[in-house]
Amino acid sequence: MAFTALLVAAGATALASNSKWYSLAPGTKFLQADLGSARNVSSFVLKHAGLGGETTGWNTGAFTIQTSLDGTNWTTAASVTDARSSRTYHPVSQRSARYVRVNVTTPANDGNGAARIYEFEVY
C-alpha cells in the first residue's frame, strides 16, 4: 500500500518556504512520524531545501532513516552521508513499521546549522 506524502508542517498543502520542518536544536535533530498503525514500508523520499525554493547548499548533508513498531525500539533502514540532492529516494527491504524517523546529523552542505525538510514520503 502506498501512502501519500506526509507534509511535515501542520496545515501545509504544497512545497513552499513556509511549509517545512525546521530545527536549530544542538546535536542530532529528528523528525518523527506516526503512520497510525503498523504498515509495510519499502521506500522513503525526502524533499530538501532546494525543492522548497531555498539554496541547495542548505540541502541535508547526512541523515539516517529509522523504523519502529513501538516508538521505542528503532532499526536503521537507510544511512546517508554526503548528500547533495534536493530530492532523495531511499528504497529499503520491506518491513513493518508504525513509526518512521529521520535523524539529521549534518543539517546542511554549506555548514549552516539548521535542518530543513520540506516533505517526507513513506511508501
For every residue of 28-54, DSSP letters joined together read: -EEEEEEEEEEEEEEEEEEE-GGGGTS
Rounded Cα gap, residues 21 and 102, in angstroms? 11
pLDDT on residue 10: 42
pLDDT digits (tens, 9 = 90+) for 80-89: 999 999 999 9
* 3-state SS track over 49-111: HHHHCCCHHHCCCEEEEEEECCCCCCEEEEEECCCCCCEEEEEEEEEEEEEEEEEEEECCCCC
Q: What is the mean pLDDT of residues 67-91?
A: 96
pLDDT at position 39 = 96
How large a percentage of the chain has pLDDT more than 70? 85
Can you tell me the mean pLDDT for 96-112? Answer: 95
Phi, psi of 19 (to 5 degrees): -130, 75
At 25 the pLDDT is 86
Which whole number is the average pLDDT over 93-100?
97
